[in-house]
């Protein structure tokens, strides 16, 4: 039975209370980091662990932290990305609701490592209850001296604040998140410059996903090689897979990186619902290109999925059954991206809306021959040409569905 | 006539504003606090918030109209937001929306005559393991079916 | 300097230059909508994507800075395809208003469609409907359907005027640029918005439906309405052969000059151009003349009279009135002829009082050449007019369009007492009838010369359009006048061109010799 890291203690009652957390090795990593380790040492460990971002892009966290200039006359910031907007994703909600102190501990170590004294948890606006829980946990941490001035007598000080979003998927994109945190519209910024040099309020900023940061305490406590032994050498640790859709047991399943998709669906999530047959799976959140029923014998890690021309993304697995029309799936997808486009750049703003209009027309029964090709053309117009990855996120699933389910989609067209 | 905020809210606003390097950064939290009291952000609230944060009202409106959670007009006592994204649709979310439309006698985007319920559809709420789900004000309800929805609504005062 | 290659051409450009500007300097135009030299690049229109060797994705030319050895392709298949893609999207949701849109002829969408498009529309859906004729303040109209969301207007109002009257509301395809409810655009640089809008989304009511852009001749000039000396384009219609138009000038636009006005002009300079065509005085009139005389004959007779006054030692009974609308060269001639040659002491400026300056371009001075006059040694303080007119037997009045700023109550009775009165004027005025000789003069937009702005920058300019009727620039009258007198005519004999006058001016006055 593979070792759980993040959800290990989820069974404990009131784990979200600092008392319970402390009783179960809570804040031991933070203590170790502040007392026994130097920031450089922590950075080396995280780099060696090859901790990859768990928000979607999979960028190595240690490398990202390393981009922040050591010396800076500006304050540095940490923004924890708790926007969790990728459809199908709900893992961070679990971490923050059940084990908020794990996140806080990760924030302390990360901040200490990079030289940050103010951290914001940017949490999606809908997660009000979760935000309240976080605020309570933060208050407890301040009370016990894990946050604030001179933490545990180390001389290191850190303030952590919860900052709620207000309903915009695009604010999960790191630069849009910064804009939103600064009180503006969530419009992504041009990169370069990158947030590591010019981020929040123009200062060096690290932005990482909740799950990514939550892995830091165990890496500090157990070391990089331990982390790599769980999972894969280049892609260590576990992932919290979020399974939803037509399965018997939707929910979160923390498993080593590289676990087979088939195993996750059939063994852990209980297999298909009674009387349902598997048709397709979205393996990494809505933006991930779709896999057909024949393609689920695949290992869930970044490289394997990339080779299969899909992506691990947020490890959100949506299981689709044969009775579901792929046109309907397409409709939901195009509606989503056209609704969430910030509207800044031409190909995404107009391209997504145009694609959505075509799909709606097809769904209303007025589809014409050539419509699918037009959608493909428009999606390719966006791919790699938009200001931020939302264009790619919108194009990839659409292209994969049309490619793999063209015959079915054509049946919905007229002449 | 500017809307009056409770002292508690004013205090919270002052405390929050001090967290950020710029006053403007407090805009989203402040809008949440104000909307909590007034229900929606009209031009009055825009002016109020603008004055509090030393920014122009136009900048407030730019933000209010960008984010879906800020209401530009009054909503009912209970804002029923049903997820219409992929997983919830797979699990019958569409028929639940129809059920609500029928039960409340309104179309999506409308409010009941007694101002009690507003019905809207939203994108993924991040609770797909409980699909189909909805959010009423800020409370999540999952694993819904018509019966459960009826129960939930009936219990709301 | 770094060496780069654009479309296989080797170029040396300064480090830090963007690909777009580097290409521009080599005459290679990369299409763009949201980019404007005055603002930080935004990179939202995606029109300027180019291919850079070694980089898998297409990159923005407007914001990518050159690096040593960079190889850029602006016309590869991938690039053209990307441009077509952006165009197609914009045109899909764009109302094809060309037949009624003022921007036609200078519209970026039209231009780029001609260069990169020429495809049939494949948009079979319903276009978004929006407001089309919104009064957003001052002279501006806003059409939200035509808007391509380049946000130049928003950025102008936020970064240049810092008044922030416009913003972007809603999200995605519903995103629209607008003013805030009931708060119109209200600053003195609003006209620049219509100019920077790349399409017909923001248009000028002053120009609306008046004429087509391709009928206009756009010529360089200098704005004379304050002493900033903003560089402008005067855009005039050449007229049709079969019927006449009510005016020549339809528009004044800004002209970039980083040393003087940057990219912009104020609304005063932009909109107050009616004086160029209205109430112009274009005919010669000379009382006591024999029927219709040529200007040379009239000048000759005036010169004769003046000569006689001078030799009878009556220079003290002559007076010169002028405004600092005259060019440097003209003021130089006035000084040389009237002060130096004729020893006339009564030379008085009747400039209009100062107006309000803003903290940007508009100066308080309401004439363009006070500094030039100062540098030439004139005292611009208006004299005691009572004393001035005392015992004046011969008066020369050089009037500019601002003649009516002179106190009529003061002038009229004084004129009645003066024997010989010579008026040089560009505009009609009730006072004309009191003068014996009226000679029509051309305006700054119609002549050659130079002006010195408030900061001491000397700017040469050429005519932006032809003079009207018989009007001539003051310097031509002055040279002829000086030649016809006997006092110092030899000197003026070789001053046959404006250039030669300028040379003399530079010789005598080191200020004008400085490298500008």
Say yes or no for a CB contact (<8 Å) between B65 and C166. no
Average pLDDT across chain A, whole number: 96
Fold annotation for A235-319? Ubiquitin-like (UB roll) (3.10.20)
The Cα angle at residue A132 between residues A128 and A136, in degrees rounded to 5: 170
Which positions 320-349 of A are in contact with B (Cβ < 8 Å)? 320-321, 324, 328-329, 332-333, 335-336, 339-340, 342
- C415 with C371, same domain? yes
Nearest chain A residue to C125, by CA: A357
pLDDT by residue for chain B (157 residues), tens only, comes to: 456 888 988 899 999 999 999 999 999 999 999 999 999 999 999 999 999 999 999 999 999 999 999 999 999 999 999 999 999 999 999 999 999 999 999 999 999 999 999 999 999 999 999 999 999 999 999 999 999 999 999 999 8
Residue pLDDT, tens place only, C29-48: 999 999 999 999 999 999 99
User: At B92, is the secondary structure helix, strand, or coil?
Assistant: coil
Is C97 domain-assigned?
A: yes
Is C230 inside any structural domain? no
Token reading at A96? 């923050």
Sheet holding B117-122: strands in order across? Answer: B117-122, B78-83, B134-136, B139-141
Interface chains of chain C (3 or more CB pairs under 8 Å): A, B
State yes or no: pLDDT of C226 exceeds 90.
yes
- Helix ranges, C10-71 (H): 19-25
In chain C, how many domains are there? Answer: 3
Residue entry with tokens 């203690």: A9
Confidence (pLDDT) at C240: 87
* Whether residue C114 sits in one domain with residue C185: yes
List Cα–Cα distances, B84 to A290, B91, B130, B132, C502, in angstroms.
Answer: 20, 10, 13, 9, 77
Q: Where are the domains of chain B?
A: 7-64, 78-155
DSSP state at residue C160: I
Residues C187/C196, Cβ–Cβ less than 8 Å: no
Using the 8-state DSSP alphabet, how is residue B87 labeled?
H
**C174 occurs within a structural domain:** yes
Helical (H) or strand (E) element with C132 = none
Q: Are residues C105 and C18 in the same domain?
A: no
Which class would CATH give B78-155? Answer: alpha beta
Please report the residues numbered 93 through 152 in chain A whose beta carbons come closer than 8 angstroms to any beta carbon of chain B. Answer: 93, 124-129
Residue C379 pLDDT exceeds 90: yes
Q: Which residue of chain A comes nearest to B53, CA vs CA?
A: A183
pTM of the full structure: 0.95
List all residues 6 or more positions away from B81 whose beta carbon is below 8 Å from its beta carbon.
B120, B121, B122, B125, B134, B135, B136
Residues of B in contact with A163 (CB under 8 A): 28-29
Is A390 in the B-facing interface, judged by CB distances under 8 Å? no
Give residue-wise pLDDT tens across range A242-276. Answer: 999 999 999 999 999 999 999 999 999 999 999 99
CB A197 within 8 A of CB A155: no
Q: What tokens appear for A183 in the block?
A: 């009180």
Residue C87 resides in a domain:
no
What is the predicted pLDDT for the residue at C411?
82
3-state SS class at C151: coil
Instruction: CATH number of the domain at C33, please.
Output: 3.10.20.740
Query: Counting Cβ atoms within 10 Å, is residue C1 exposed (0-12), middle (13-18) or buried (19+)?
Result: exposed
Q: From A164, A199, A10, A185, select the one nearest A84 (Cα to Cα).
A: A164
3-state SS of C277-340? CCCECCCCEECCCCCCCCHHHHHHHHHHHHHHHHHCCCHHHEEEEECCCCCHHHHHHHHHHHHH
Q: In 3D, which of A182, A200, A206, A161 has the Cα closest to residue A64?
A: A206
Angle at the Cα of C38 (from C35 to C42), degrees rounded to 5? Answer: 35
The whole-angstrom distance between C240's CA and the closest CA on chain A is 41
- Domain-located, residue C390: yes
Nearest residue in chain B measured CA to CA from C166:
B58
Q: What is the pLDDT of residues B50-66, one digit of tens each?
A: 999 999 999 999 999 99
- CATH code of residue C383: 3.40.50.740
Burial A140-174 (b: 16+ CB within 10 A, else e): bbbeeebbeeebbeeebebbbbbbbbbbbbbbbbb
Kindly report the CATH number that applies to the domain delimited by A18-229. Answer: 3.40.50.11540
Query: What subunits make at least 3 CB pairs under 8 angstroms with B?
Result: A, C
Burial of C253 by CB count in 10 Å (0-12 exposed, 13-18 middle, 19+ buried)? middle
Cβ neighbours of residue B61 closer than 8 Å, sequence gap 6 or more? B46, C167, C169, C180, C181
A201, pLDDT greater than 50 = yes
The phi and psi torsions of A163 (rounded to 5 degrees) equal -130, 120
Measured distance CA(A214)–CA(C281) in Å, rounded: 84
Q: How many CB atoms lie within 10 A of CB A14?
A: 10
Find the Cα–Cα–Cα–Cα dihedral B112, B115, B121, B123, rounded to 10°.
180
Window 23-82 of B: residues touching C by CB (8 A cutoff) are: 43, 56-59, 61-62, 65-66
* B107 in reach of chain C (CB within 8 A): no
Structure tokens at C424: 């040089």
Q: Touching A: which chains, 3+ CB pairs < 8 A? A: B, C
Q: Is residue C160 located within the same domain as residue C49?
A: no
DSSP A119-166: EEEEE-TT-HHHHHHHHHHHHHHHHTTSSBSSGGGSS--BEEEEEE--
For chains A and C, CB pairs below 8 A equal: 96
User: How far does the CA of residue B65 sit from the closest CA of chain C (Å)?
Assistant: 5
Distance CA C34, CA A348 (A): 15
CB contact under 8 A, B58 and C171: no
Q: In this structure, what token pair is assigned to residue C173? A: 């395809």
Supply the range of the domain harboring residue C54: 2-75
Run of H or E residues at B65: none
Q: Among residues C423, C186, C189, A124, which one has the least CA distance to residue B138?
A: A124
**Torsion of the alpha carbons at C122, C125, C129 and C133, rounded to the nearest 10:** 20
Q: pLDDT tens for residues A274-317?
A: 999 999 999 999 999 999 999 999 999 999 999 999 999 999 99
Report the alpha-carbon distance of residue A79 to residue A207 in Å, rounded: 5
Q: Which residues have CB under 8 Å from C255's CB, separation 6+?
A: C220, C230, C231, C232, C233
Class of domain A326-410: mainly alpha
Last residue of a domain, one of C204, C231, C262: C204
Q: Do both C402 and C502 map to the same domain? A: yes
Chain B contact set for A339 (CB, 8 A): 123
Chain A residues 330-349 with a CB less than 8 Å from chain C = 338-347, 349
Of C169, C170, C180, Cβ closest to residue B57: C180
């Amino acid at each position: 039975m593979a070792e759980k890291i993040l959800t290990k203690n989820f069974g404990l009652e009131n784990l979200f209370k600092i008392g319970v957390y402390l009783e179960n090795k809570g804040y031991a990593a933070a203590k170790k980091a502040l007392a026994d380790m130097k920031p450089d040492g922590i950075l080396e460990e995280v780099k060696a662990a090859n901790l990859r971002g768990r928000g979607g892009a999979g960028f190595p966290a240690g490398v990202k932290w390393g981009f922040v200039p050591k010396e800076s006359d500006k304050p540095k910031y940490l923004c924890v990305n708790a926007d969790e907007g990728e459809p199908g994703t709900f893992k961070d909600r679990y971490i923050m609701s059940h084990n908020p102190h794990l996140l806080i501990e990760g924030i302390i170590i990360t901040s200490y490592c990079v030289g940050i004294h103010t951290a914001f948890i940017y949490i999606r606006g809908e997660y009000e209850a979760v935000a309240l829980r976080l605020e309570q946990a933060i208050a407890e941490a301040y009370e016990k001296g894990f946050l604030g001035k001179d933490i545990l007598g180390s001389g290191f000080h850190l303030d952590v604040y919860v900052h709620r979003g207000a309903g915009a998927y695009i604010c999960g994109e790191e630069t849009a998140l910064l804009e939103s945190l600064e009180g503006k519209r969530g419009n992504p910024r041009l990169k370069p410059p990158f947030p590591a040099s010019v981020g929040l309020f123009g200062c060096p900023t690290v932005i990482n996903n909740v799950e990514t940061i939550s892995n830091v305490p165990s890496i500090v406590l157990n070391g990089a090689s331990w982390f790599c032994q769980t999972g894969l050498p280049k892609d260590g640790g576990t992932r919290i897979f979020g399974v939803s859709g037509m399965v018997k047991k939707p929910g979160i399943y923390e498993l080593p990186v590289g676990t087979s998709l088939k195993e996750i669906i059939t063994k852990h999530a209980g297999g298909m619902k009674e009387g349902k047959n598997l048709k397709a799976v979205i393996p990494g959140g809505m933006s991930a290109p779709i896999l057909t029923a024949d393609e689920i014998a695949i290992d869930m890690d970044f490289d394997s999925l990339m080779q299969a021309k899909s992506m691990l993304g947020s490890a959100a697995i949506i299981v689709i059954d044969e009775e579901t029309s792929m046109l309907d799936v397409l409709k939901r997808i195009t509606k989503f991206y056209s609704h969430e486009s910030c509207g800044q750049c031409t190909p995404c703003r107009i391209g997504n809306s145009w694609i959505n209009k075509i799909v709606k027309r097809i769904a209303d029964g007025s589809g014409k021959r050539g419509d699918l090709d037009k959608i493909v053309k428009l999606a390719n117009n966006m791919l790699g040409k938009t200001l931020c990855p939302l264009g790619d996120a919108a194009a990839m699933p659409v292209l994969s569905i049309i490619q793999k389910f063209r015959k079915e989609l054509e049946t919905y067209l007229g002449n | 006539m500017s809307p009056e905020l409770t002292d508690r809210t004013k205090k919270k606003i002052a405390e929050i504003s001090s967290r950020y390097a710029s006053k403007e950064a407090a805009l989203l939290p402040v809008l949440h606090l104000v909307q909590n009291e007034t229900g929606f952000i009209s031009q009055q609230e825009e002016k109020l918030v603008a004055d509090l944060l030393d920014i122009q009202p136009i900048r407030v409106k730019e933000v209010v109209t960008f984010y879906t959670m800020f209401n530009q007009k009054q909503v009912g006592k209970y804002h029923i937001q049903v997820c219409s994204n992929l997983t919830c649709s797979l699990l019958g979310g569409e028929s639940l929306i129809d059920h609500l439309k029928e039960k409340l006698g309104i179309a999506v985007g409308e409010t009941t005559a007694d101002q009690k319920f507003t019905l809207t559809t939203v994108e993924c709420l991040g609770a797909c393991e409980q699909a189909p789900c909805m959010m009423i004000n800020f409370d999540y309800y999952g694993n819904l079916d018509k019966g459960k929805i009826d129960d939930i609504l009936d219990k709301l005062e | 300097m770094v060496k780069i290659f654009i479309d296989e051409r080797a170029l040396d450009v300064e480090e830090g230059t963007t690909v777009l500007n580097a290409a521009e300097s080599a005459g290679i135009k990369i299409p763009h909508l949201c980019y404007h030299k005055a603002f930080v690049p935004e990179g939202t229109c995606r029109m300027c994507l180019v291919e850079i060797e070694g980089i898998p994705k297409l990159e923005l030319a407007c914001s990518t800075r050159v690096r040593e050895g960079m190889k850029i392709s602006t016309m590869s298949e991938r690039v053209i395809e990307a441009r077509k893609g952006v165009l197609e999207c914009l045109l899909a949701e764009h109302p094809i208003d060309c037949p009624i849109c003022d921007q036609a002829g200078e519209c970026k969408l039209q231009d780029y469609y001609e260069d990169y498009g020429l495809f049939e529309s494949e948009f079979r859906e319903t276009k978004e409907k929006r407001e089309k004729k919104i009064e957003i303040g001052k002279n501006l109209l806003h059409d939200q359907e035509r808007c391509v969301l380049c946000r130049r207007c928003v950025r102008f109002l936020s970064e240049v005027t810092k008044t922030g009257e416009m913003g972007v509301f809603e999200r995605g395809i519903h995103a629209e640029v607008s003013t805030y409810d009931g708060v119109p655009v209200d600053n003195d640089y609003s006209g620049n918005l219509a100019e920077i809008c790349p399409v017909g989304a923001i248009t000028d009511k002053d120009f609306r439906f008046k004429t087509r852009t391709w009928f206009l001749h756009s010529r360089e000039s200098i704005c004379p309405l304050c002493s900033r000396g903003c560089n402008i384009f005067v855009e005039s219609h050449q007229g049709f052969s079969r019927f006449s138009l009510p005016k020549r000038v339809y528009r004044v636009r800004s002209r970039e000059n980083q040393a003087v006005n940057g990219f912009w002009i104020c609304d005063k300079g932009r909109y107050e151009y009616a004086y160029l065509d209205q109430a112009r005085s274009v005919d010669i009139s000379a009382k006591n003349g024999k029927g219709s005389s040529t200007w040379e004959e009239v000048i000759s007779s005036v010169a004769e009279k003046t000569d006689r006054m001078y030799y009878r030692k009556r220079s003290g009974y002559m007076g010169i009135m002028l405004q600092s609308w005259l060019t440097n060269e003209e003021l130089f001639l006035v000084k040389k002829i009237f002060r130096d040659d004729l020893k006339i002491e009564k030379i008085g400026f009747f400039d209009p009082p100062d107006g309000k300056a803003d903290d940007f371009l508009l100066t308080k001075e309401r004439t363009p050449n006070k500094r030039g006059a100062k540098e030439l040694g004139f005292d611009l303080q208006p004299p005691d007019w009572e004393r001035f007119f005392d015992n004046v037997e011969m008066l020369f009045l050089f009037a500019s369009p601002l003649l009516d700023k002179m106190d009529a109550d003061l002038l009229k009775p004084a004129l009645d007492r003066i024997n010989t009165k010579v008026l040089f004027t560009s505009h009609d005025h009730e006072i004309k009838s009191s003068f014996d000789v009226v000679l029509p003069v051309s305006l700054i937009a119609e002549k050659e010369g130079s002006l010195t702005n408030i900061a001491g920058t000397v700017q040469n300019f050429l005519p932006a359009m032809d003079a009207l009727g018989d009007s001539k620039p003051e310097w031509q009258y002055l040279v002829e006048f000086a030649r016809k007198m006997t006092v110092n005519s030899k000197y003026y004999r070789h001053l046959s061109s404006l250039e030669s006058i300028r040379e003399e001016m530079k010789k005598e006055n080191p200020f004008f010799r400085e490298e500008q």
